[in-house]
Structure 1
Amino acid sequence: MSKLKNIYRVDKFIVPESSRDEFLSRILDTHKILRVQPGFIQDSVLEHTEGPGRYNIVTVAEWESQEAINSAKNVVQAEHAKSGFSPQQIMDRLSVQADIANYTRVSE
């Protein structure tokens, strides 16, 4: 029997320095919602400090399954809609570029 692999949602952002504080505040608010969802395991919100690289903010959230991610996404979208928050509008206004994808751990 094969063991199911956890899914890692990795969001990488290029955030102008002038937009950093507002954007991070929004990310942290969203992660508060994610952390209490079924299937959530752990997360990290990371900021680039040294070395070459395009992305200066990276978030990683580990989930038990794709179904858990989908369910959490629905909850977050509903919360955003209730408050009138549009992530895409904020990213456009703040000139944030994103690279968002799901990953699994490579077996050794």
Structure 2
Amino acid sequence: MSQSSKVYRLDKFIVPATARDQFLAKILSTHAILRQQPGFIQDAVLEQTSGPGKFNIVTMVEWQSQDAIDAAKIIVQELHAKTDFSPQQTMQRLGIQADIANYSLVS
């Protein structure tokens, strides 16, 4: 596996204090599923402790490839459908803003 094929999924969130516990619980349960998927390398769930940045929760998952991300996304979507969970509706209801993207190593 070459370094250039690895993909890093970074999700940055602005989470109101009133939504923190509920939101983190869902993130942690989702990451437990992601860790079991083929192509998963490592992850981190981070909470801002200082600084002027507006994103107070950030998650990172390192994957072997885009194909691994695509396969994991299907698994998570199927689980959400089975449990009648909508991430978009939940974030809207809780007042959470998100910036979600895939990244690759520059060097």
Place the TM-score, normalised by the shorter chain, in its bin.
Answer: over 0.9
2:14 and 2:3 mapped to 1: Cα distance?
35
- TM-score normalised per structure 2: 0.96
In structure 2, the residue matched to 1:62 is: 62
- Unaligned residue ranges in structure 2 (runs of 5+): none
Q: Deviations over 1:7-26 (max 9, x none)?
A: 00000000000000000001
Superposition misfits of 4+ residues, deviation over 4 angstroms: none
Shift of 1:28: 0.5
In structure 1, the residue matched to 2:21 is: 21
For the aligned residue pairs, the C-alpha RMSD in angstroms reads: 1.0
In structure 1, the residue matched to 2:50 is: 50
User: Within 5 A, what are the aligned runs for 1:1-108?
Assistant: 4-107=4-107
2:55 and 2:66 mapped to 1: Cα distance?
25
Question: Is contact 1:48-1:56 (8 Å) kept?
Answer: yes
Secondary structure in structure 1 of the residue aligned to 2:8: strand
- TM-score normalised per structure 1: 0.95
Secondary structure in structure 2 of the residue aligned to 1:42: strand
Question: Is contact 1:19-1:94 (8 Å) kept?
Answer: yes
Shift of 1:5: 2.8
1:26 and 1:54 mapped to 2: Cα distance?
21
- Unaligned residue ranges in structure 1 (runs of 5+): none
Question: Is contact 1:5-1:105 (8 Å) kept?
Answer: no
Identity of aligned pairs, percent?
A: 64
Question: Is contact 1:9-1:60 (8 Å) kept?
Answer: yes
